[in-house]
Amino acid sequence: MQTNIDLQGLRVAVTGGTSGLGLALVRQLTAMKACVAFIARTAANVERIADETGAHGIVGDVGKKDDIYPIALQVTASLGGLDVLVNNASSLGPVPLALLADTECEELEVALAVNLVGAFRLTKALFGALAASARGGGGALVINISSDAAVNAYPGWGAYGASKAALAHLTAIWDEEAKADGIPFLALDPGDMDTSLHALAVPDADPATLKRPELAAAEIIEKMLDALPVRSTLLTGAHG
């Protein structure tokens, strides 16, 4: 992927932006001069990453209904609108991972609340801003981070896999429904990455066998640019 792309003027929101893939996306997008707002639960981490990258940090939990509209309002206020939403925040459900028969109902609810319902609520809250961007000719896009656990039946990954499978299908339906608004929806599987979330799930995994979040982020940004109708404009730094 090119590293000298100028995304000045592109407005991007990323959930789960203080670690793993989300953090790698925030760093790379801000380095490309995009206007970025990121969301995470821990205020100290949000402040630290905002200071490091210059992105707009927003403290909130997408798994909590009452946090959604304050998050959405801060996103649009800080960026002056929105072009791209990346629903990246994820929850494993039970930690350590558990068979479905040993998974508490509340643990399944947590995975669904973050991975599915949270992504749905935030997208719905920001849909008007995205549609406005699409109408303005700048393009709009929603990226939902999925997983191969959404397709493959891995024992122990029931809560996570079921929530990601639902997210993938939600994405496909919304992609069809939002064609009239000019907003494509993508469900992207970044692969098994060397992140804190993966370490919680598989503590004995060899990091050398896992993809670096920075590589996964670069691949996602490439797909993001492919999906935006103004890709050629972005590559010349003339968007905005």
State the catalytic residue, choosing from 120, 157, 160, 185. Answer: 160
Does 69 participate in catalysis according to the annotation? no
* Contact call for residues 70 and 62 (beta carbons, < 8 A): no
Q: Which residues are catalytic?
A: 160
